[in-house]
């Protein structure tokens, strides 16, 4: 008689969606909590302020095949994307001198800017390490994309977006198109990477269709940032769990303000002269309809994104999940889980 009591555990090659999400969380927490002791306490603090991992979830959704299964490679890539996102948040908090994120004290506030920068760099290395663990057998496409963009290229786009924003700090003459270029890098690039990677790691998606997923991710990334811009002028500190008008306080000129400055030259002049109060800026945005205009732009991108969801080949489950990701970016009114 064959003894089957001590059979070795076989690695799971495919997951269903909910299990894939749990596995991504396990991968990320394991990466954070099993780091070398020297840095573990620092980056372990980040587990207290995690959001809904919308970028990682997007990767999983796009990777779901006709059998509703997600390959383990997509789980690895989704975890890598979440680690990369955490790295960008740590660096953003240093740049913005932020004291809290999602109601939790930031790494830079708790341990200092130098430590936070190094931790952000370490998280970036963890992201690359996780991405590199993807198997590269002949049945699966590797992380190099059809247009020769790869993981590092998208990281470069994120950095260029952040740099453009920094260069344009307190640029009260910033144009609509210059701003879209900024957020296409700093926010939309990681969404685009998430959607593209997930689509590539799905055996039901053709090379021609990958471009549609990329464009969908790009639109959703823009929507996500535009919604965030509106929250800065619409929400309360209690709901947003951060100071309101924090962008303006940091010299970041977002779309509601760009539109306001175009419509109200006097408040623009006073902003340049540093004689306009925070309350006056907020009032001017409300009176000129800066938030309404930004919502209008966001709606246009929403319609473009929905048009793509309606034409891609996908089952009802996948289409519903893609729509849920889109709606999360478009309709969310508070920041803590974003």
Beta strand spans in the chain (E): 14-16, 69-71, 100-101, 104-105
Residue-wise burial string across 51-83, b where 16 or more C-beta atoms lie within 10 A, e elsewhere: bebbbbbbbbbbbbbeeebbbbbbbbbbbbbbb
CATH number at residue 259: 1.10.600.10
Does 2 reside within a domain?
Answer: no
Give how many domains the chain has, as a whole number: 1
Does 4 reside within a domain?
Answer: no
**Quick check: 134 and 76 in contact, CB under 8 A?**
yes
Q: Which pLDDT belongs to residue 63?
A: 96
Does 248 reside within a domain?
Answer: yes
Does 336 reside within a domain?
Answer: no
End-to-end CA distance of the chain: 55
CA distance 196 to 143: 10
Q: Which pLDDT belongs to residue 153?
A: 86
Ordered mean pLDDT values, 10 residues apiece, the chain (338 residues): 48 87 94 89 78 92 94 94 94 88 86 94 92 64 46 88 95 97 96 95 90 97 95 67 73 96 97 93 94 96 98 94 96 51
Does 33 reside within a domain?
Answer: yes
Q: What is the DSSP string of 221-263?
A: HHHHHHHHHHHHHHS-HHHHTS-TTHHHHTT---HHHHHHHHH
**Quick check: 338 and 329 in contact, CB under 8 A?**
no
Q: Which pLDDT belongs to residue 237?
A: 53
Does 257 reside within a domain?
Answer: yes
Does 159 reside within a domain?
Answer: yes
**Quick check: 170 and 208 in contact, CB under 8 A?**
no
pTM over the 0.75 mark:
yes
CA distance 197 to 60: 9
Does 5 reside within a domain?
Answer: no
Q: 222 lies in which domain range?
A: 14-331
């Amino acid at each position: 008689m064959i003894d089957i009591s001590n059979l070795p555990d076989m690695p799971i090659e495919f997951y269903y969606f909910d299990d894939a999400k749990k596995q991504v969380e396990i991968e990320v927490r394991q990466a954070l909590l099993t780091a070398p002791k020297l840095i573990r306490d620092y980056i372990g603090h980040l587990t207290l302020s995690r959001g809904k991992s919308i970028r990682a979830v997007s990767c999983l959704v796009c990777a779901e095949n006709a059998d509703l299964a997600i390959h383990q490679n997509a789980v690895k890539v989704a975890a890598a994307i979440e680690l990369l996102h955490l790295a960008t948040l740590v660096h953003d908090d240093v740049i913005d001198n932020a004291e809290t994120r999602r109601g939790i004290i930031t790494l830079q506030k708790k341990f200092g800017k130098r430590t936070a920068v190094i931790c952000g760099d370490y998280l970036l290395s963890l992201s690359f390490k996780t991405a590199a663990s993807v198997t590269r057998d002949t049945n699966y496409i590797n992380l190099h994309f059809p247009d020769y963009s790869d993981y590092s290229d998208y990281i470069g786009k994120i950095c260029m977006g952040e740099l453009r924003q920094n260069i344009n700090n307190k640029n009260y003459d910033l144009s609509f198109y210059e701003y879209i270029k900024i957020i296409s890098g700093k926010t939309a690039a990681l969404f685009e990477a998430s959607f593209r990677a997930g689509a590539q790691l799905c055996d039901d998606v053709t090379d021609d269709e990958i471009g549609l997923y990329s464009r969908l991710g790009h639109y959703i990334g823009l929507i996500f940032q535009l919604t965030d811009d509106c929250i800065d002028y619409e929400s309360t500190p209690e709901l947003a769990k951060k100071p309101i008008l924090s962008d303006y306080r940091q010299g970041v000129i977002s779309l509601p303000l760009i539109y306001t400055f175009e419509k109200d030259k006097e408040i623009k002049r006073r902003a340049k002269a540093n004689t306009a109060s925070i309350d006056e800026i907020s009032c001017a945005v409300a009176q000129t309809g800066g938030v309404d205009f930004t919502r209008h732009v966001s709606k246009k991108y929403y319609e473009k994104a929905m048009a793509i969801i309606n034409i891609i080949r996908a089952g009802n489950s996948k289409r519903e999940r893609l729509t849920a990701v889109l709606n999360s970016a478009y309709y969310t009114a508070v920041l803590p889980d974003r």
